Amino acid sequence: MEKVKLTGIPREMIALRISKEIKDGDYVNLGIGIPTLISNWIEGRDIMLQGEIGLLKSGPLVTDEEMIDQDCINASCQPIIEIPGTIYFDILESFTMIRGGRMNLVVMGALQVNDKGDYAGWANPSRGLDVGNIGGSMDLVAGADRLFLAMEHVAVDGNPKVVKKLTFPPTTTGKVNMIFTDLAVMEVTPKGLLLKEVAPGLTAKDVQSVTEPKLIVSPDLKEIEF
């Protein structure tokens, strides 16, 4: 596979695209990275963000340094604002919800994903260690109703991240439902990855050129809509 450099949509727009998939009333957990940006696009909507540190209906991020309460952070260690209906609980309650299947949607970042819905996100062997940071990722994917990935389509070094075979250790196998990248929107189906949307100006062939597994192109293929 040649190392093509395609121009896609920015991270904020990946987040915006995903926000359209979230239904009012949903309980949602957002992982570190691109997923966290989704919170900017759902303010004011009736969507309940859960933070595995132990909070539900998390408010927006603090923007004014003066307003920081060091006892009030989200699971990415960012200070947040309490809103009416924000509640706090301990870690056991948090993972009771998570593993118990109460998250309608979990959105995670990823290092690699394949066409069977396996993905790797917890350890990058290039760090020179054989261990990494699992955090709550494996609990979240074990319990989620639906699991989305939000990621760059291609790694910084030009290597594909949508691969035939994971070379990094998997976070979970067969659980991913949808993949949102800067270049495309793909659905994991029993037959493989269904390419549903491409970034403005790109073709299915362009996306295939930086994707290892053979893509099934949707007959309704369209541009990513925001």
Partner 1 sequence: MDKVYQKIEEAIADVNDGAVIAIGGFFACGVPRLLLQALIDKKTKNLTLTCGCGPMVGATEELRALVKNGQLKKLIDSYGLARSASKGRQDPFEQAVKAGTIELEVVPMGTLAERYRAAAAGVAAVYLPTGAGSIVEKSVVSSIVANRTPKETRVFNGKTYILEYALKPDFAFVHAHTADKEGNLRYSKTARNFNPVMASAAKATIVEAENIVEPGEIDPDCIHTPGIYVKRVVQVPRIKVRVGID
Residues in contact with partner 1, total (CB under 8 A)? Answer: 70
Active site residue 52: yes
Active-site pick, 2, 52, 82, 152: 52
69 binds partner 1 (CB under 8 A): yes
Separation between Cα atoms, residue 211 and residue 159, nearest integer Å: 9
Site for partner 1 in 109-148 (CB under 8 A): 124, 126-139, 142-143
Distance CA 170, CA 108 (A): 13
155 binds partner 1 (CB under 8 A): no
Find the angle CA(99)-CA(101)-CA(106) to the nearest 5 degrees: 85
CB of 4 or CB of 83, closer to partner 1: 83
Cβ distance to partner 1 smaller for residue 101 or 200: 101
Asked if 171 is part of the footprint of partner 1 (rule: CB under 8 A), the reply reads yes
Min. distance of Cβ 120 from partner 1 in angstroms? 9
Identity at 66, one-letter amino acid code: E
Closest separation in Å from C-beta 81 to partner 1: 12
Sign (positive or negative) of CA dihedral 108, 40, 154, 125: negative
Cβ proximity to partner 1, 152 vs 197, nearer residue: 152
Which window, 50-58, 108-116, 156-164, 191-199, contacts partner 1 (CB under 8 A)? 50-58
Smallest separation, CB 62 to partner 1 (Å): 9
Ranges of beta strands (E only) in the chain are 27-30, 48-51, 55-56, 87-88, 105-108, 112-114, 119-120, 146-151, 162-163, 178-181, 184-189, 192-198, 216-223
- Phi, then psi, of 11 in degrees rounded to 5: -55, -40
User: What values do phi and psi take at 61, rounded to 5?
Assistant: -70, 145
- Residue closer to partner 1 by CB (options 1, 155) is 155
Q: How far is the CB of 161 from partner 1 (least distance, A)?
A: 16
**Which residues belong to the active site?**
52
